[in-house]
């Protein structure tokens, strides 16, 4: 029997299924419908039912949002707000997020298909990000530069201006917080565009930002497709910076679209992240972490440990245990008791995962767990896919090189440390990687040799708001989080003062 699961809360910006109207754009400090009244149905990935109806913006709405952000930046009071007060605003948003933790976790879970527990973890992480940048907002106003006598020289930081923020569907609120919090700390104004399939918690964040008392026009929200609204934002000459998290193909398009107006771009793209296991580790622990690395949020994680590289002496024992435990993972309703994996985000995305698995099989990789939808008829309407383990993989295979972004892990073998490092670096990406070994020196050597933005030794996945996050290679441009994550949103300006100007007579 189906359990009585909790539904979405009532919100003015979320219309009931079947509605033909919605007022979910937030421009210049007020909620409004799209210019042409457009709406979009948001689908619950658990059973393909309509979860809610939201506004669907037009390119004209995107232009209006940029104009509002521009006006708030160029002429509004925001830039004059002292940095400590911007920090206080961030603390207020963090307080409100913590207050509404259960509601936000539910919204994120229903919208994305992640479990309710994971939704709660996301909210905790988002609160920590807002608190981190609240603390950083007034800590670094600039520096005095060594200069000749009679000269006073200093570097100060100023906001970049109007930022367009475009986010993906896997961590809608978390990825957005990495952009909105430092941008507020820096004094920018912004236009936010979430993925068209998962807008719900972005709407909620804007509700809280409004409640926290941010001046009108500082944070603006448009909902809609990347092709229409996203590209309108990246091309708009009123935008100074495009901060994007999403796939590699979209990232390259955004770079090209930003080029004619020489916008700054910050890109967090995908990854195909190696997880290297040496033969001296406790296999039970290494398998346990390998499962989390590969299958947390059904593998829809940019930093998923989707590429296992296992020493050949433990390969067979490791993969047998990995497959046994992957087959035992409980999948079902994100609010269900003991459920660890919910559905994938959409029918389209599951079709991509299935196509990647089919390609892997054609290439000669062998499935030892999963590789199919679940048999449970209760789950047949949703976008479920079983955790999948491929063995007999080698570095040239598409399934090893291309990001699947689903519950699929490949396993390769290695014999020497040098070979493990070479495999771990044999990728166009460079987002994250892990190394498992009982030999501390070897762990450090391998971590130093891996060309990835984050490397875990004897762990996989944790991050801190204070540590930079981003990619080498095609995993992106720039860094989020940490002090560098604030620097993305500000310009350094050198101010030089001649204390006693006298004629130089250079030209006589
Ligand atoms: P997409 O690249 O498809 O979309 C990301 C965002 O870009 C969405 O809001 C999308 O809009 C928008 N978009 C699409 N086309 C354009 C365009 N031409 N111009 C402007 N915006 C556009 O990524 P997914 O949503 O599928 O997310 C998955 C990807 O994100 C994976 O590759 C994953 O690795 C990466 N990712 C990276 C992270 C990191 O920290 N490095 C973190 C999380 C995810 P819409 O969907 O509304 O059409």
Residue 111 tokens read as: 């919208």
- Measured CA to CA, the distance from residue 425 to residue 110 in angstroms comes to 37
pLDDT at site 70: 98
pLDDT tens, position by position, 181-210: 999 999 999 999 999 999 999 999 999 999
Q: How far is the CA of 362 from the centre of ligand 1 (A)?
A: 28
Q: Calculate mean pLDDT across residues 50-72.
A: 98
Nearest atom (ligand 1) to Cα of 249: 2
- pLDDT of 430 above 80: yes
Position 77 confidence tier, pLDDT thresholds 50, 70, 90: confident
- 3-state SS, one letter per residue, for 238-302: CCCEEEEECCHHHHHHHHHHHCCCCCEEEEECCCCCEEEECCCCCHHHHHHHHHHHHHHHHHCCC
- pLDDT of 477 above 90: yes
Q: Calculate mean pLDDT across residues 417-422.
A: 98
* Candidate from 230, 301, 356, 474 with most ligand 1 atoms within 8 A of CB, to mutate: 230
- Measured CA to CA, the distance from residue 357 to residue 366 in angstroms comes to 10
54 lines ligand 1 (CB under 6 A): no
- E strand residue ranges, 83-239: 142-145, 151-159, 162-166, 189-193, 219-221
pLDDT tens, position by position, 332-344: 999 999 999 999 9
Rg value, the chain, Cα: 24
- pLDDT of 26 above 50: yes
Stated pTM of the model: 0.97
- pLDDT of 117 above 50: yes
Question: Which is the catalytic residue, given 196, 207, 268, 480?
Answer: 268
- pLDDT of 66 above 50: yes
269 lines ligand 1 (CB under 6 A): yes
SS3 content of the chain, % helix, strand, coil (to 5): 40, 20, 40
Question: Which is the catalytic residue, given 302, 393, 403, 417?
Answer: 302
- Measured CA to CA, the distance from residue 342 to residue 329 in angstroms comes to 11
- pLDDT of 421 above 80: yes
Cβ density class 167-183: b for 16+ within 10 Å, e for less: bbbbbbbbbbbbbbbbb
What residues are paired with 280 via a beta bridge? none
Residue of minimum CA distance from atom 35 in ligand 1: 246
pLDDT at site 1: 38
Q: How far is the CA of 62 from the centre of ligand 1 (A)?
A: 18
Q: Please say if 268 is a catalytic residue.
A: yes
pLDDT at site 495: 98
What residues are paired with 185 via a beta bridge? none
- Measured CA to CA, the distance from residue 490 to residue 157 in angstroms comes to 6
First to last CA, the chain: 95
Q: How far is the CA of 373 from the centre of ligand 1 (A)?
A: 25
pLDDT at site 347: 98
Nearest atom (ligand 1) to Cα of 480: 40
Helix (H) or strand (E) holding 362: helix 347-363
Coil, helix or strand at residue 56: coil
């Amino acid at each position: 029997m189906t359990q009585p699961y909790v539904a979405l809360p009532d919100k003015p910006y979320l219309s009931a299924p079947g509605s033909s109207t919605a007022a979910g754009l937030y421009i210049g400090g007020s909620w409004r419908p799209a210019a042409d009244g457009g709406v979009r149905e948001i689908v619950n990935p658990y059973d393909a039912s309509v979860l809610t109806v939201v506004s669907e913006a037009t390119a004209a709405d995107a232009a209006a949002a940029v104009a509002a952000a521009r006006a708030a930046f160029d002429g509004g009071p925001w830039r004059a707000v002292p940095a400590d007060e911007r920090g206080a605003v961030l603390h207020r948003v963090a307080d409100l997020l913590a207050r509404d933790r259960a509601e936000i976790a539910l919204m994120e879970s229903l919208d994305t298909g992640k479990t309710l527990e994971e939704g709660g973890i996301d909210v905790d992480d988002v609160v920590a990000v807002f608190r981190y940048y609240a603390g950083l907002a007034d800590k670094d106003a600039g520096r005095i530069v060594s200069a000749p006598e009679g000269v006073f020289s200093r570097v100060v930081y100023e906001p970049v201006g109007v930022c367009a923020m475009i986010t993906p569907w896997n961590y809608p609120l978390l990825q957005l917080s990495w952009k909105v919090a430092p941008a507020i700390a820096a004094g920018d104004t912004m236009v936010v565009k979430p993925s068209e399939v998962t807008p719900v918690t972005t709407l909620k964040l804007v509700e809280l930002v409004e409640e926290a008392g941010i001046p009108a026009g500082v944070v603006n929200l448009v909902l809609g497709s990347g092709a229409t609204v996203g590209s309108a934002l990246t091309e708009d000459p009123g935008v100074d910076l495009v901060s994007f998290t999403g796939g590699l193909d979209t990232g390259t398009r955004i770079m090209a679209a930003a080029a004619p107006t020489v916008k700054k771009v910050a890109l967090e793209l995908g990854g195909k992240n190696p997880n290297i296991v040496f033969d001296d580790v406790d296999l039970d622990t290494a398998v346990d972490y390998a499962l989390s690395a590969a299958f947390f949020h059904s593998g829809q994680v940019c930093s998923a440990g989707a590429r296992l590289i296992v020493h050949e002496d433990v390969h067979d024992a490791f993969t047998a245990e990995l497959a046994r435990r992957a087959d035992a993972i409980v999948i079902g309703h994100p609010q269900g008791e003991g459920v660890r994996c919910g559905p994938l985000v959409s029918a389209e995305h599951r079709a991509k995962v299935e196509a990647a698995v089919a390609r892997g099989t054609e290439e000669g990789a062998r499935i030892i767990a999963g590789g199919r939808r679940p048999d449970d008829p209760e789950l047949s309407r949703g976008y479920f896919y079983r955790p999948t383990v491929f063995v007999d993989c080698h570095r040239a295979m598409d399934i090893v090189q291309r990001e699947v972004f689903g519950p699929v892990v490949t396993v390769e073998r290695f014999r020497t440390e040098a070979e493990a490092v070479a495999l771990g670096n044999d990728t166009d990406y460079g987002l994250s990687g892990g190394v498992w070994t009982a030999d501390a020196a070897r762990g450090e050597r391998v971590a130093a040799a891996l060309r990835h933005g984050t490397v875990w030794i004897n762990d996989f996945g944790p991050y801190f708001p204070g540590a930079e996050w981003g990619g080498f290679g095609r995993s992106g441009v720039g860094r989020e989080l940490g002090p560098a994550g604030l620097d993305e949103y500000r310009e350094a300006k050198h101010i030089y003062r001649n204390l006693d100007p006298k004629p130089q007579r250079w030209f006589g």
